Each structure stands twice: as structure tokens, then as C-alpha cells.
């Protein structure tokens, strides 16, 4: 039998390796920026076009490379950071695998310009599909500039799996922010399609967080710091009142490397236990410095998951440090037996002599005097009736006061048909929102005649049970309301006519620059459903009108959930922007499981559901109700 095992060609092996290293444009951004940091750069610039699909360029002022190093950097397993296997267990750099540039060059057009410090000229290398096309001497600034064009040009299947530009840009921004937060001493800039997205000067950790996520972030931060033999911890956590329903700003950095650790994340959540609502997530920026020999970084291709030697100790230190910080800054309630500063003597009374308070007693006070006067006035009336004299002044004054009060009730009982008679007042019944005064069609028209109009029942605050002639229908109130709201919002965005309630005082909200850019793309569609946006620039959005079905307290929650959904592309990008927006809003505003509904609200929800074009499925393609016939019930009793 012939041999069937053979060595793979280099270009095929590089493409396979590229599948692990380069998953999307954000992967290229991560590798190139980390190489720039390792090169000792103090200024790093990222330029992207079409979310990195067309161009990703990273320019730094680091050490640069010689012509030989520049050529070797594109070879597999070529690196300047490892000499022996033992170096893997004391890593202090980021890009150490030696496969990043080789993998990127195998699936894109790459051009590198680099010059070492002190040299007069530099080197230019152009590569296509892993092959060097040209290498020549060039005039270029000190440092390195790498431009990656037409990513996945030779692997169209991988390119087709990329998400929309909006989602890919979100991933690029995430990678940029992670490296920028880990190195506040380096100046970072980012440009996308010619627009300046970030300009971050060299600063400290707190200022870097504020520069990325907006000026309003500064008032949300609580510093955390702890130094032990095992761990040096620093950073910030958000105050409990700023916890969000979506996972927002949550960053762990170990030895200046961004990581994801569900175990350490649980430590943070346990520190916030009792301070935040259920199903909300706190924000944090935590920097952990540990001995490199106690950490194994090389367990995941993207190096975002690492392994600690003693996770339990780190868990305990992290949890207690955050609890201490929240208590120290009066964020969390604590038992404090120290002297209260509020009991100190004010400055104005510090040097004044002490006066003993005196007690004065009114010797003429008599609590029974009013009763005695009433008795006396009554007896005086009898005497005047016998003697024909006059009453005393006390009795006359009381009669005048009583007459004034009694005049308020004159005529109330004389005219039963008077409009002032409260027994004749009729209470106007309120229409439940959503009916709009129009009858709705019912899908099930076989309801028995003569039944009362309200024949619904809420089961476990989750399901609505209603009867039909052939049996009964059990409706999931959350999914049903999602369907109703989804078609309502979609209709408003299609017709471009919606009811908007103007606000007496505008609502001003603050978001990060990337979130504001996302809201700018959604602005026109938001205005179609009733939002009136007067200002949207920088980090601020000013709302002067909201849809009639939304309250002011829900605006912030709706926009936060909307931003989170579009960042994570929920629903999928295959739908139009209007469809995705309608689904996101319906998911946020729908009646929740566990919310009690009165009979009228149940009936309106049922009617509106069966008036929809597709009442059987929710916007997320889940069933909204089930039908149980009388025959099915009878079988249960056999």
C-alpha cells in the first residue's frame, strides 16, 4: 500500500496557522499593536478603512528593524523574545509566538516600512499571499509602519463569514481599547475612514479610562488598591448605582495583558453582592501584577485566557480589596464604631462659654380649661334664659366659630340631584394603552356566544389563559407582547409617522465616543418611532421627545440595551437596520415574566396578539401560545 502521509506545503501551513491567529480584522489589529508596544514605541497610530477589511495600518516610533530582521520577521516561528523553552514561563512581552506576521502575510497584501534609530535609510517589503514581491531601500521615519490590505483576498470563504462593518469595527475598537488601557504611558490614535475616533495622550490609568469612555466616567470610579506578597492590585470599579443590565466596561489586566477570567469575575460579583440589583453587571478596570513564573499564558491561541498557580488566593484578595474600597469611600454600608465627626463641636461655638439650659414652667397652664369654659358657657345660657340676660363673650365666640364651619355643609343633603352630590358622579373607564379605540380582529372566532367579554386568567404571572369553543389557549405574555410591539414599531418605521410626546425638560445622557457614533447611525430610524433628538455630538445626546408608549425613566435603559444589542449584533446582521431596531426595542419594552396584569390588560394583549400578521411566533421565532382542545383534556382523565 502506498504511503499517504506527506508534509504540507509552506503556504498551506501558513493559511492553516492564519486560521488560528487571524479570525477577523480585530485579530490583525491586536497583533500589530502589541508588536508596536514590544518595540518600545511611545506613539502608536491605527488607521483602518471599511472596519479593517480594506486597510489596517499601524504606525509606531519604536526601535525599528534592520533589513535582515525585517525579512526574517515574516518567517514562521521567528521571534526576538524567546531564546529557550524556559522563557515561556517568565514572559514580559506580548507577541512571542513568531507566527503573527507570517499568518497575516499569508492571507493579505502586506507592506512594511521600517527604519532603525540612527540609520539614514530604511527598508520596504511588499508581500502577497505569503510571498515576498519586492524588497528595497526607502526613506521612512524612525520606527515601523505595517499596512495590511485586502484581508482574506485569497480565502473568499473566510471573508464571507465576516460580520457587517459595524460589528467588525466594534471588535477593532475593543482590541484597540484593551491595549490602550493596559499602557496609559503610550500615546494612541485611531482613525477610521478618515475620521478621528480616539486621540489618547500619555497619562495615568484614571485619565486613560476617562479619555476612552467619556468625561462622565470620572464620577463613577472608585479606586481599588492592595499590595501583598502574592499580588499587587490597582484599578477602579464602578459605583453600584452605575451597574448596567448589559456587560459593559469589564477589564482584567494581568502583567499589562488583557485577559478573560470567569473565576475572577465571580470574585468581583461577590464583592458587589447586596449592592446591585439582580441581572445587572458592575463595571471595573483592574490591574493585577503577579510573578510571571506563577502564570501560564500559553494555553490559548489568542492569549486572552491564562492559568494561575493559586487562583483561590487571588479570588480572596480581589474580593476583600473591592469590598474594602466600597466601604472606605462610603459606597457600601459598614459597621463603624469610631467617633462620628458630626458630633464634634462646630467652629463657631468652640471658644464660647457653656450655658446650662434653664427650664421654665407656665404655672397658669390648665389642659382642662376648654372643657370648663364649655360647661360654664352652657350654664350661663340657661341662666340668661331664665333671667332674660346676655351670655358671656366666650360662649358667643364659640357659636360664631361653629357657625362658620357649619356653613360649609349647608345644602349638601337637601338636593339629591345636585351635581355636587357625590353619589351621582360616574367614573369614566380608562382605555388600556394599545387599543387606540379600534376593535381588533381575533384569530379564534369560535368563542362561545354569551360569554363575558373578560374571560382571561393569568397563571403564575407568566401565562395568560383564555377560552375558545374547542378548548383553551395558553399565551406566553412576554413573547406575545414582543410580537405586538415588534409589528407596532416596524409599522411606525415603515410609515414614518409616529406619536411623540414632547418633554418639558430635555433628557441629557452621556456615552462614550464609540457609543455616540453608533447612535448617530440609528438617529434617523429612532426619530421615525417617536424619539426627538435635538443634539447628538461628542459624548452627549439631548432628547426632547420620546414615543408615547415609553416613560422618561425607561429612556436610558432602552438606549443602553439598544447599544449593547447592536454591538453584539443581536439580532443578526442579515436583517435590515429597521428590523433589528424593532426587535431590540420589543425585547426591552415587553412585559416581563413575573409582572402581574389586570383583567383588562390581559384582554387587550390577547386581542392585539391575534390582530398581528404573524401571531404564532415571537420576533425571535419562538412560539407565543399553545392550544389545548377539550379532547386533549378528556384524554388526561382516562
CATH number at residue 261: 3.30.230.10
Q: 522 and 592: one domain?
A: yes
Q: 179 and 281: one domain?
A: no
More confident residue, 624 or 429: 624
Taking residues 71-79, what's their average pLDDT? 77
Q: 462 and 519: one domain?
A: yes
Quote the pLDDT of residue 121. Answer: 92
Residue carrying the nine cell digits 373607564: 429
pLDDT band at 398 (very low <50, low <70, confident <90, very high): low
Q: Please indicate, yes or no, if residue 611 is contained in any of the structural domains.
A: yes
Q: Please indicate, yes or no, if residue 114 is contained in any of the structural domains.
A: yes
Tens-digit pLDDT profile for residues 509-568: 888 877 887 888 788 888 888 888 888 877 788 899 888 778 888 888 888 888 877 776
pTM of the model: 0.68
pLDDT band at 454 (very low <50, low <70, confident <90, very high): very low
Residue pair 116/64 in contact by the 8 Å Cβ criterion: yes
Q: Please indicate, yes or no, if residue 351 is contained in any of the structural domains.
A: no
Quote the pLDDT of residue 94. Answer: 64
Q: Please indicate, yes or no, if residue 4 is contained in any of the structural domains.
A: no
Specify the range with the lowest mean pLDDT, choosing from 92-106, 113-127, 392-406.
392-406
List 591's β-bridge partners, or say none: none
Q: Distance (Å, rounded) from C-alpha 440 to C-alpha 78?
A: 71
List 149's β-bridge partners, or say none: 55, 109
What domain range includes position 80?
10-200
As a whole number, the mean pLDDT across the chain is 79
Residue pair 179/34 in contact by the 8 Å Cβ criterion: yes
Quote the pLDDT of residue 429. Answer: 44
Q: 247 and 115: one domain?
A: no
Q: Distance (Å, rounded) from C-alpha 441 to C-alpha 432?
A: 17
Cα 148 to Cα 105, 172, 555, distances in angstroms: 8, 14, 41
pLDDT band at 260 (very low <50, low <70, confident <90, very high): confident
For the cut 60, the answer to whether the pLDDT of residue 428 exceeds it is no
Q: Hey, which of 34-38, 233-237, 293-297 has the most confident mean pLDDT?
A: 233-237
pLDDT band at 439 (very low <50, low <70, confident <90, very high): very low
Q: Please indicate, yes or no, if residue 45 is contained in any of the structural domains.
A: yes
Quote the pLDDT of residue 532. Answer: 87
Count of C-beta atoms within a 10 Å radius of residue 298 = 14
Quote the pLDDT of residue 206. Answer: 93
pLDDT band at 430 (very low <50, low <70, confident <90, very high): very low
Contacts of 244 (CB under 8 A, 6+ apart): 280, 281, 283, 560
Q: 195 and 261: one domain?
A: no
Specify the range with the lowest mean pLDDT, choosing from 57-71, 318-332, 388-402, 425-439.
425-439
Residue carrying the nine cell digits 510571571: 292
Last residue of a domain, one of 200, 231, 265: 200
Q: 462 and 576: one domain?
A: yes
Q: 169 and 282: one domain?
A: no
What CATH number does residue 505 fall under? 3.30.1370.100
Q: 292 and 174: one domain?
A: no
Q: 215 and 314: one domain?
A: yes
Which among 55, 23, 17, 58 is positioned nearest to 39, based on CA atoms?
58
Cα 512 to Cα 217, 280, 400, 536, distances in angstroms: 9, 19, 70, 12
Q: What is the dihedral of CA 349, 353, 354, 358, to 10 degrees?
A: -110
For the cut 60, the answer to whether the pLDDT of residue 414 exceeds it is no
Last residue of a domain, one of 274, 302, 328: 328
Tens-digit pLDDT profile for residues 3-61: 778 777 766 666 666 666 788 899 899 989 988 998 889 999 999 999 899 999 999 99
Quote the pLDDT of residue 394. Answer: 47
The structural domain count of the chain equals 3
For the cut 60, the answer to whether the pLDDT of residue 614 exceeds it is yes
For the cut 90, the answer to whether the pLDDT of residue 185 exceeds it is yes
What CATH number does residue 15 fall under? 3.30.565.10
Quote the pLDDT of residue 343. Answer: 58
pLDDT band at 196 (very low <50, low <70, confident <90, very high): confident
Q: Distance (Å, rounded) from C-alpha 638 to C-alpha 631?
A: 11
Contacts of 108 (CB under 8 A, 6+ apart): 28, 148, 149, 150, 151, 152, 153
In the chain, how many H helices and how many E strands? 17, 22
Quote the pLDDT of residue 390. Answer: 45
Specify the range with the lowest mean pLDDT, choosing from 147-156, 476-485, 486-495.
486-495
E strands in 250-380: 250-254, 257-259, 284-289, 295-296, 307-308
Last residue of a domain, one of 157, 172, 200: 200
Quote the pLDDT of residue 443. Answer: 42
Q: Please indicate, yes or no, if residue 491 is contained in any of the structural domains.
A: yes
**Concatenated DSSP letters of 556-621:** HHHHHHHHHHHHTTSS-TTS-HHHHHHHHHHHHHSPPTT----HHHHHHHHHHHHTSSSTTB-TTS
Q: 96 and 164: one domain?
A: yes
C-alpha cell at 131: 510571498
Q: Please indicate, yes or no, if residue 434 is contained in any of the structural domains.
A: no
Quote the pLDDT of residue 154. Answer: 84
DSSP 8-state code for residue 37 = H
Residue pair 599/550 in contact by the 8 Å Cβ criterion: no
Residue pair 563/550 in contact by the 8 Å Cβ criterion: no
Q: 223 and 181: one domain?
A: no
pLDDT band at 161 (very low <50, low <70, confident <90, very high): confident
Q: 489 and 612: one domain?
A: yes
Q: Please indicate, yes or no, if residue 416 is contained in any of the structural domains.
A: no
Count of C-beta atoms within a 10 Å radius of residue 100 = 25
Q: In the chain, what percentage of residues exceed pLDDT 90?
A: 24
Amino acid at each position: 500500500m502506498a504511503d499517504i502521509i506527506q508534509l504540507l506545503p509552506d503556504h498551506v501551513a501558513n493559511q492553516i496557522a492564519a486560521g488560528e491567529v487571524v479570525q477577523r480584522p480585530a485579530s490583525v489589529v491586536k497583533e500589530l499593536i502589541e508588536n508596536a508596544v514590544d518595540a518600545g514605541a511611545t506613539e502608536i497610530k491605527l488607521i483602518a478603512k471599511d472596519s479593517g477589511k480594506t486597510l489596517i495600518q499601524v504606525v509606531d516610533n519604536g526601535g525599528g528593524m534592520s533589513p535582515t530582521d525585517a525579512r526574517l520577521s515574516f518567517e514562521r516561528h521567528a521571534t526576538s523574545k524567546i531564546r529557550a523553552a524556559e522563557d515561556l514561563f517568565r514572559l514580559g512581552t506580548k507577541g512571542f509566538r513568531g507566527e503573527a506576521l507570517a499568518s497575516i502575510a499569508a492571507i493579505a497584501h502586506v507592506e512594511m516600512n521600517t527604519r532603525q534609530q540612527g540609520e539614514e535609510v530604511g527598508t520596504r517589503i511588499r508581500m502577497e499571499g505569503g510571498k515576498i514581491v519586492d524588497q528595497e531601500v526607502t526613506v521612512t521615519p524612525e520606527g515601523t509602519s505595517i499596512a495590511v490590505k485586502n484581508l482574506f483576498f485569497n480565502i473568499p470563504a473566510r471573508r464571507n463569514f465576516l460580520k457587517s462593518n459595524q460589528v467588525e469595527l466594534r471588535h477593532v475598537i475593543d482590541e484597540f481599547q484593551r491595549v490602550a488601557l493596559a499602557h496609559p504611558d503610550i500615546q494612541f490614535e485611531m482613525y477610521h475612514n478618515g475620521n478621528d475616533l480616539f486621540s489618547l495622550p500619555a497619562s495615568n490609568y484614571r485619565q486613560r479610562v476617562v479619555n476612552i469612555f467619556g468625561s462622565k466616567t470620572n464620577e463613577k470610579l472608585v479606586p481599588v488598591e492592595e499590595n501583598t506578597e502574592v499580588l499587587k492590585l490597582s484599578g477602579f470599579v464602578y459605583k453600584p448605582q452605575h451597574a448596567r443590565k448589559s456587560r459593559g466596561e469589564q477589564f482584567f489586566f494581568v502583567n499589562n495583558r488583557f485577559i478573560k477570567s470567569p473565576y475572577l469575575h465571580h470574585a468581583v460579583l461577590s464583592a458587589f453582592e447586596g449592592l446591585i440589583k439582580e441581572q445587572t453587571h458592575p463595571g471595573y478596570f483592574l490591574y493585577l501584577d503577579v510573578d510571571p513564573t506563577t502564570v501560564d499564558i500559553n494555553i490559548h491561541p489568542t492569549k486572552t485566557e491564562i492559568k494561575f498557580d493559586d487562583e483561590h488566593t487571588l479570588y480572596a484578595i480581589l474580593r476583600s480589596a473591592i469590598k474594602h474600597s466600597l466601604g472606605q469611600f462610603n459606597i457600601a454600608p459598614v459597621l463603624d464604631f469610631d467617633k462620628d465627626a458630626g458630633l464634634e463641636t462646630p467652629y463657631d461655638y468652640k471658644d464660647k462659654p457653656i450655658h446650662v439650659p434653664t427650664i421654665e414652667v407656665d404655672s397658669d397652664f390648665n389642659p382642662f380649661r376648654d372643657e370648663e369654659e364649655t360647661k360654664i358657657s352652657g350654664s350661663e345660657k340657661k341662666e340668661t334664659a331664665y333671667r332674660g340676660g346676655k351670655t358671656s363673650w366666650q360662649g358667643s365666640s364659640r357659636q360664631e366659630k361653629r357657625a362658620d364651619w357649619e356653613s360649609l355643609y349647608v345644602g349638601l343633603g337637601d338636593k339629591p340631584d345636585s351635581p355636587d352630590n357625590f353619589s351621582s358622579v360616574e367614573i369614566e373607564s380608562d382605555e388600556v394603552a394599545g387599543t387606540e379605540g379600534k376593535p381588533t380582529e381575533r384569530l379564534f372566532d369560535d368563542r362561545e356566544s354569551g360569554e363575558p367579554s373578560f374571560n382571561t386568567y393569568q397563571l403564575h404571572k407568566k401565562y395568560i389563559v383564555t377560552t375558545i369553543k374547542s378548548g383553551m389557549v395558553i399565551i406566553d405574555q412576554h413573547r406575545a407582547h414582543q410580537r405586538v410591539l415588534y409589528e407596532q414599531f416596524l409599522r411606525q418605521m415603515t410609515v414614518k409617522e409616529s406619536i411623540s410626546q414632547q418633554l418639558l425638560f430635555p433628557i441629557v445622557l452621556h456615552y462614550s465616543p464609540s457609543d455616540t457614533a453608533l447612535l448617530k447611525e440609528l438617529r434617523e430610524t429612532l426619530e421615525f418611532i417617536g424619539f426627538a433628538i435635538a443634539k447628538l455630538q461628542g459624548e452627549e445626546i439631548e432628547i426632547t421627545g420620546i414615543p408615547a408608549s415609553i416613560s422618561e425613566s425607561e429612556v436610558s435603559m432602552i438606549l443602553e440595551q439598544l447599544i449593547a444589542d447592536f454591538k453584539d449584533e443581536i439580532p443578526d446582521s442579515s436583517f435590515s437596520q429597521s428590523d433589528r431596531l424593532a426587535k431590540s426595542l420589543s425585547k426591552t419594552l415587553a412585559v416581563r415574566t413575573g409582572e402581574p396584569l389586570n383583567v383588562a390588560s390581559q384582554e387587550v394583549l390577547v386581542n392585539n396578539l391575534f390582530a398581528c400578521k404573524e401571531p404564532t411566533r415571537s420576533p425571535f421565532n419562538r412560539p407565543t401560545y399553545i392550544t389545548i382542545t377539550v379532547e386533549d383534556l378528556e384524554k388526561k382523565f382516562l
